[in-house]
Structure 1
C-alpha cells in the first residue's frame, strides 16, 4: 500500500483497531496492521506458516516486481492476485531475462515459505529453494587454480562475465583480463568470445566466482 492510499485510509485523530505485528526492543516504533483486524482469516493463515514449509499453488499473475501465487490452502488476498509472492531473485538459481522464462500464468508450482510479509499481508516464497543449486555442485568439482573454457556473456565497466558451465557465470575483473593494463573490457574481449580462464576465488556462501584470463592463458583449459 503506498503513502497516498494510507492517507486516504486514515485521518489524524481517527480511532482505529489494529494488531501489533512487530516491536523494536531498542526503543524504535511499534508496527501495527489494520489489515490484520480487517482480514483475520488471511492473518491467521499467514501466522500459521513455518519457515521452510513447502506450499503449493498456481501462478496467478506476473508483474515487473515479482510473481503472485494463489495458494491451494490459503484464502484470497483482498488486494493482490495471490497470497503467495515470489521476488525475481527467488525464481531461479540461473540468470534469466524475464519471469516468463521460468514460470507461466496458470502453472502449478511448489515453493518454500521464507517469511510473512506483514506490510503487504503475503507469504514470501522461493521457487529456487526447492531445486538443486547448480553453484554448489559446481563448487564440489572445481577448486581454486582450475583452468576452464568459457564464453563471455556480458561486459561491464569493471570487467567481463564468463559462463564456464550450465547456469554458472564468473567475473573476470578488469585487472585480470590481460597481462598488460587495459582501459575497458572491450579492448580485450567481446560477448560470445570463447576464452580460457582460471578460478582464483570460489565463495560458496555468496555464490561468487572470480576468474582470471592472465592465468588462464598459461596453458590449455580443462573442459567444462
Structure 2
C-alpha cells in the first residue's frame, strides 16, 4: 500500500490509497492497510449523481481517497472515505487554470435543471440559461446527453460554484469569423449571404460572420416600396460588395448589381415598329419619358407627341398617365429607346380611314347589285 497508509494512525483529511475488496449496493469496502476497512459510500464516489457503484468502480480497483470521517469506539472503529473530495481537488486546480487561460474545452450535459444546464466537468458545472446560446432557447431538453464547447466564467470554492458558458465560446468564434471576413473581403466581391433582418430602409445580410447592409435602393432595378416585397428573413441570396469600412466594421452590399440589368437583352424584347403601353414618368421641355418595361424609360420627343403644334409636353400629357407608344428605335448599347405617340395616333387614323373606305366600297357594290337585280325583273 501507499506510504501514506503505513502506520496505525489515521486522521480526517488524510489522503490514502486502497484496494476495493467488496462492492455492495450503497457502498464499497476498501482495504487501506488500517485496522478496519474503509467505507466508501455511493454518495462519495462522484460530484455527479451515480446510479450504480459499479458504474464508477469495481472489486480489485486501486483508488486514491480522502478520509472524510473517523469514528472510534471501544469495540469498533469506522472510517468514511471519499473519492469525490480527491477528484474535486484536482478538478478545482484544472478549472482555475482554464479560467486563468480562457481555455475552451468540451463537456457532456448531464442534467436539465431550472434556469439552465448541468455539465460534467468532474464537478457539477452550471450553465445558466442566458449562457447556453447567443440566441433565446425555449426548451433545453434536447441538450441532455450532448457535448458542448465551454469556458469557465466564474469559480467559487467556498460556495462550490462552477459557472460555465457556451455562449461565450460562440461569441468568441463569431468575433474571430467577423475579423476574418473583414480582412479578406474587398469592394466588388460577389458573395453569398443569408438575410438576417428586414428594416424600412433595407436588409441586413450575414455574409459569413458579419452583417452587411443592402439599402432599399440596392434591392432591385425597379422602384421598391417595401423590402419584404422582394426579400424574406432566412433567404439565401447573392450580393455584391459595394464598400468595406474596416474601422467601423460596416459593409455595404447590393442585390441589384448581381441581377441582369433592365437593358440586358432589350432588343429581343422590344423592336422598332412595336406598339406598346407605357406610363409617363417625367415631363421635360423637349419631350416626355415613358416607362415601357420595369426600369426602362424611352423618350417621346416633343415633335412625336402630337400632330398639332404644342408649346410644352404638359399641354397634352401628365405624369402617371398611361399612353400607347410606337417604338421608333432601340439601342441596348446606348440604353436608349425612341418612342412616338403621334405615330400611334396616325396609324390608328389610317386604319379607321381604311376601314371606313372598305365599308363604303362594300356598301356601293351591294347597292348596285340590288338595282341591277330589280331592273332585270322589270324587263321580264
Same structural fold, with TM-score higher than 0.5 when normalized by the shorter chain: yes
Alignment RMSD (CA, Å): 3.4
The answer to whether structure 1 residue 160 and structure 2 residue 288 are counterparts is yes
Q: CA deviation at 1:74?
A: 1.8
**How far apart, in 1, do the equivalents of 2:314 and 2:205 lie?**
46
Q: Secondary structure at the match of 1:45?
A: helix
**How far apart, in 2, do the equivalents of 1:47 and 1:146 lie?**
53
Where does residue 73 of structure 1 map in the other structure?
Answer: 208
Q: CA deviation at 1:92?
A: 0.9
Q: CA deviation at 1:208?
A: 4.3
Where does residue 239 of structure 2 map in the other structure?
Answer: 112
Q: Conserved in 1, the CA contact under 8 Å of 2:263 and 2:332?
A: no
Alignment of 1:118-197 (within 5 A): 118=245, 120-143=248-271, 145-158=272-285, 159-165=287-293, 168-190=296-318, 191-197=320-326
- Matched positions, count: 170
Alignment of 1:28-67 (within 5 A): 42-49=178-185, 51-64=188-201, 67=202
Q: Identify the match of residue 94 of structure 1 among 211, 222, 243.
A: 222
Where does residue 11 of structure 1 map in the other structure?
Answer: none
CA 1:197–1:49: 2 relative to 1, 3 Å: same
Where does residue 27 of structure 1 map in the other structure?
Answer: none
**How far apart, in 2, do the equivalents of 1:161 and 1:107 lie?**
38
CA 1:214–1:195: 2 relative to 1, 3 Å: same
Q: Secondary structure at the match of 1:219?
A: helix
- Select the structure of larger CA radius of gyration: 2
Q: CA deviation at 1:91?
A: 0.8
Where does residue 331 of structure 2 map in the other structure?
Answer: 202
Q: CA deviation at 1:108?
A: 1.5
CA 1:131–1:165: 2 relative to 1, 3 Å: same
- Structure 2: state its 5+ residue gaps: 1-174, 349-380
Q: Conserved in 2, the CA contact under 8 Å of 1:146 and 1:199?
A: yes
CA 1:162–1:53: 2 relative to 1, 3 Å: same
The answer to whether structure 1 residue 85 and structure 2 residue 222 are counterparts is no
| Deviations 1:38-66 (CA, angstroms, capped at 9, x unpaired) | x88645413312534222111424244xx
**How far apart, in 2, do the equivalents of 1:173 and 1:101 lie?**
34
Q: Secondary structure at the match of 2:181?
A: helix
Q: Secondary structure at the match of 1:140?
A: helix
Q: Structure 1 or 2: larger helix share?
A: 2
**How far apart, in 1, do the equivalents of 2:293 and 2:226 lie?**
21
Q: CA deviation at 1:181?
A: 4.3
Q: Conserved in 1, the CA contact under 8 Å of 2:242 and 2:254?
A: no
Q: Conserved in 1, the CA contact under 8 Å of 2:190 and 2:239?
A: yes
Q: Conserved in 2, the CA contact under 8 Å of 1:198 and 1:213?
A: no
Q: CA deviation at 1:93?
A: 2.0
**How far apart, in 1, do the equivalents of 2:273 and 2:205 lie?**
45
**How far apart, in 2, do the equivalents of 1:204 and 1:95 lie?**
23
Higher RCO (C-alpha 8 Å, min separation 6): 1
Q: CA deviation at 1:175?
A: 4.7
Where does residue 347 of structure 2 map in the other structure?
Answer: 219
Q: CA deviation at 1:110?
A: 0.9
Where does residue 23 of structure 1 map in the other structure?
Answer: none
CA 1:183–1:96: 2 relative to 1, 3 Å: farther
